[in-house]
Structure 1
Amino acid sequence: MAVSDYITGVQHIGIPSIDLDKTIAFYKSIGFEQAGLFHNGENRCAFMRLGNLTIETWEGDPTNPEAGAINHVSLNTTDVDKAFAAAKEQGLNLVNTEIQSIPTFWDKGIRFFNILGPNHETIEFCQIL
């Protein structure tokens, strides 16, 4: 069993926003469409899509106004439970001790977990339910 058995490609790239409305307007101005707008508690989260590239941008978290502002890269996961088990078996550097969920994203929610890469980059494994 390997975590790569449950990955189909990049799902989205996560970039926190200082001003979500301005961020949405910017991405629309360069050709992206708004694929989704969700609430996670009091904060809003938008998914902006251009072709096969999706950017998740949200309010409420600290931002880095310099190079390195990307928060995470998310991989599309076909079976998050099996991917999590495989990540543990492979000894990957797990950020989460259990699978996380956000029920308000997309139609039926998402389930995900994060690992750290060798440069402390966050890689999310996400299944849209």
Structure 2
Amino acid sequence: MKNTPVGLAHVAIPAGNFTETVDFYKDLGFNPVVMHEFSCILNNGNCYLEIYRRRTDEKQAGAIDHIALQSNDIDAAYEEIVDLGYTVVTDGIESNEMFAPRSNRFFIFLGPNNERIEFAQVK
């Protein structure tokens, strides 16, 4: 792949008990970067976690929802993933402005085991 990822953007974890989960990762040295009533981005060094309130139709609490890889050129990466025939599960490239100041453009596709992989380009 020409437009390879340049690093890990974040790991998303659905939480059965949102407050307890956020507090647990805070105790491990993670600091909240962005906090909403239903989701939180935490940081420790160059590692980011996205903790969100689990919805009943989603995976069990604690299961990793997706792995997000950082991209320097999201448009080229998207074209290449589509050309390679991978299944994109988002509506093309989407934008997530609610996590400002870490707003990003992203898309999610399926890996060979139906794992969800996100490519994200942070503004």
Q: Please classify the TM superposition score into its range, dividing by the shorter chain length.
A: 0.7 to 0.9
Q: Report how far residue 2 of structure 1 moved.
A: 2.8
Residues in 2 aligned to 1:96 and 1:26: alpha-carbon distance in whole angstroms: 30
Q: Call closer, same or farther: CA 1:86–1:55 in 2, change over 3 Å.
A: same
Alignment pair present for 1:75 and 2:73 = no
Alignment pair present for 1:27 and 2:54 = no
Q: Give the structure 2 partner of residue 64 of structure 1.
A: 60
Q: Call closer, same or farther: CA 1:56–1:98 in 2, change over 3 Å.
A: same
Residues in 2 aligned to 1:79 and 1:13: alpha-carbon distance in whole angstroms: 20
Identity %: 31
Q: Report how far residue 17 of structure 1 moved.
A: 1.3
Question: 8 Å contact 1:77–1:127 — kept in the other structure?
Answer: yes
Q: Give the structure 2 partner of residue 10 of structure 1.
A: 8
TM-score of the pair, normalised by structure 2: 0.85
SS of 2:38's equivalent in the other structure is strand
Q: Report how far residue 93 of structure 1 moved.
A: 2.4
Give the 4+ runs in structure 1 shifted more than 2 A.
Answer: 60-63, 106-109
Q: Report how far residue 107 of structure 1 moved.
A: 2.2
How many pairs align? 121
TM-score of the pair, normalised by structure 1: 0.82
- The Cα RMSD (Å) is 2.0
Q: Report how far residue 49 of structure 1 moved.
A: 1.6
Q: Which residues in structure 2 correspond to 1:1-129 (within 5 Å)?
A: 2-4=2-4, 7-38=5-36, 44-61=38-55, 62-65=58-61, 69-107=63-101, 109-129=103-123
